[in-house]
Homo-oligomer: A and B are copies of this chain.
Amino acid sequence: MKLVKHILETKGRDVWSIGPDDSVFDAITMMSERSVGALPVLYAGKLIGIISERDYTRKVILKGKASKETPVKEIMSAPVIFTTPDAPIEKCMALMTARHIRHLPIVDGGELIGIISIGDLVKAIIEQQETWIRELENHVLEQTSIV
């Protein structure tokens, strides 16, 4: 069974984050530069929220706000739904589907150690299925060689 930490091992543990008092403009600039769809919001090293392309799309101009004058804390999603490195990927998939979220921060001992996206999970599942197929094929080959 594949766990969240196995995804982090492949993906790397670089986590970009933003502060609650930084501007939304700074947040979307960082998202674009880092090619990510969401950023964890950290205050004094603690995960207090998450800001995504969806938060930006729905809560700034449509609410009459401007991205350069709006602080991240005003539009971030909080409290944050997160998980731990030992969570199985199937459980994360079910959680993300049920809560309609695309990004899941990974917290270990109170510390943010990574973030996985629904795309990362799908990629991991495809790889897992390919491994199973190879194992099944090997099994068939072994049986054939016995006969």
Using a CB–CB cutoff of 8 Å, the interface residues on chain A facing chain B are: 25, 28-29, 31-32, 37, 53-54, 56-58, 61-62, 67, 90, 93-94, 96-97, 100, 102, 118-119, 121-123, 125-126, 129
Contact = CB atoms under 8 A, between A and B. Distances in A.
A31 B62 CA distance: 11
B54 A61 contact: no
A117 to B, nearest CB: 9
29 contacts: A25-B61, A28-B57, A28-B58, A28-B61, A28-B62, A31-B57, A32-B57, A32-B58, A32-B62, A37-B54, A53-B54, A53-B56, A56-B56, A56-B57, A57-B57, A61-B67, A90-B126, A90-B129, A93-B122, A94-B126, A96-B119, A97-B119, A97-B122, A102-B118, A102-B119, A118-B118, A118-B119, A121-B122, A122-B122
A97 B118 contact: no
**Most chain B CB atoms below 10 A, which of A32, A57, A97:** A57
Q: How many identical subunits does the complex contain?
A: 2
A112 to B, nearest CB: 22
Contacts of A102: 102, 118-119
A58 B122 CA distance: 24
A70 to B, nearest CB: 12
